[in-house]
Amino acid sequence: MQHGDTLILILLLGLLAAWAGISFRKWLYEPYADSFQPNRITDYNEVPEDDDVVELLIGAGFDVVGGKTKIPISMTLNQKEELYSRLFIDYFAEKEDNLYLVKVARERKPLEMTGSAIRDMLLVYSLLVPEAAGVLYVDMNGRKIKQITFHIEVFE
């Protein structure tokens, strides 16, 4: 092997090592963003048995297809600080080939039935899963199910 061949081999190995290092670092720090697809929740968690909410939904003609699901959220603040949170969808239900997201009323966080309160609390779920026909808000105290469908007008 000649002196020039050795230099070229060292340069090629250096480039290969740099490319591998950059690829590994990118994979290490960004795997979550590449794999998270919020509009494609297809693996539903198991539906609990002997649950009052499930019984109420089944009694109203819904088929409960999924249990409580956690949706992880990461945010970047000022392009520096990473923040993390999550959203929970209590159940997934279907009726007449339509998918519904189910949120159960919480005593510590009651929902006022006003347009702005419903928007602030439930619109995010409809935007998270746009193929859903709506959100079912289940109030176990009154044993009522409220079906909420959002209609958003976008102006150009």
Confidence of residue 39 (pLDDT cuts 50, 70, 90): very low
Please indicate, yes or no, whether the overall pTM of this predicted structure exceeds 0.75: no
Q: Strands 134-139 and 98-104, how do they pair?
A: parallel
Query: d(Cα 155, Cα 5) in Å, to the nearest integer?
Result: 64
For 49-94, the DSSP string reads SS-HHHHHHHHTT-EEEEB-EEEEEEEEETTTEEEEEEEEE-EEEE
pLDDT band at 32 (very low <50, low <70, confident <90, very high): low
Percent of the chain with pLDDT over 90: 46
Whole-number Å distance between alpha carbons of 143 and 121: 20
Is it the case that residue 8 has pLDDT exceeding 90? Answer: no
Position 48 confidence tier, pLDDT thresholds 50, 70, 90:
confident
* Domain 37-148 CATH (choose: 3.40.1400, 1.20.140, 3.30.70, 3.40.1350): 3.40.1350
pLDDT, one tens digit per residue, over 80-113 is: 888 999 999 999 999 999 999 999 999 888 888 8
- What's the chain's average pLDDT? 85
> Which residues, 6 or more positions from 145, have their beta carbon under 8 angstroms from its beta carbon?
56, 57, 60, 136, 137, 138, 139
Rounded Cα distance, 41 and 46, in Å: 14
In the prediction, which pLDDT does 30 show? 64
Length of the chain in residues, anyone? Answer: 156
> What pLDDT is recorded for position 1?
63
**Percent of the chain with pLDDT strictly greater than 70:** 89
Helices (H), the chain: 3-29, 31-35, 52-59, 115-128
User: Where do the structural domains in the chain lie, given as residue ranges?
Assistant: 1-35, 37-148
Spatial separation of the C-alpha atoms in residues 107 and 54, rounded to whole Å: 19
Kindly state the average pLDDT of the residues 130-150.
93
51 pLDDT more than 90: no
Inter-residue contact 64 to 93 (CB < 8 Å): yes
* pLDDT, tens only, 61-74: 999 998 888 888 89
